[in-house]
Amino acid sequence: MKLKYIILTLFLTLSLNARGIEGQKAPSFGVDKWIQTNGKGSLDIGDFKGKVLYLYGFQSWCPGCHSHGFPTLKTLSKYYENDKDVAFVAVQTVFEGFSTNTIDAAKKIIKDYALTMPVGHSGLNNKRSQLMINYKTGGTPWTIIVDKKGIVRFNNFHLTVDELKMMIDGLKEES
């Protein structure tokens, strides 16, 4: 019982600290290298002004990324593929496993999941991901939802596809 209490307390503490920028203006992505930009040289948060942005942080070896994060990303990006008010960006956010979470590993992820959205890499040369620092994320898979005004509205571990659709649709309606 005591161990469950300690684990729950730790989880809640990490969650509260990680969500430190919800309700704040979204900062720069902090991407070291863009792997796929759909024709643009580089991207940052300002490129998505006026859109609801789904920003997904992953690591190549992360089991939760493969079992939940990427399937959710694929389902949502397909659902909103013709919606000009919604954008998707995926970033490999490296905070450990620098020799595994390489740019080549991210390229393999793009191929394996047939990702069509911009994909970046944040965290090089044993330096923790700047995106993780800027957005105060707590690991991977990590989901960040930014509204049309550039305010972070969700910054935490995953929600279900239906919960995310409700959130995105609600944010689309806001002016």
pLDDT in tens, 155-166: 998 789 999 999
pLDDT attached to residue 1: 52
pTM given for the model: 0.87
Amino acid type, 130: Q
Which of the pair, 63 or 3, is modelled with greater confidence?
63
pLDDT in tens, 66-125: 999 999 999 999 999 999 999 999 999 998 888 899 999 999 999 999 999 999 999 988
SS (H, E, C) the chain: CHHHHHHHHHHHHHHHHHCCCCCCECCCCCCCEEEECCCCCCCCHHHHCCCEEEEEEECCCCHHHHHHHHHHHHHHHHHCCCCCCEEEEEEEECCCCCCCCCHHHHHHHHHHHCCCCCEEEECCCCCCCHHHHHHCCCCCCEEEEECCCCEEEEEECCCCHHHHHHHHHHHHHCC
Q: Which of the four pLDDT bands, split at 50, 70 and 90, describes residue 61?
A: very high
Contact 52, 86 (CB under 8 A): yes
pLDDT attached to residue 20: 65
pLDDT attached to residue 151: 97
> Mean of the per-residue pLDDT values for the chain?
89
Give the pairing type, strands 52-58 and 86-93: parallel
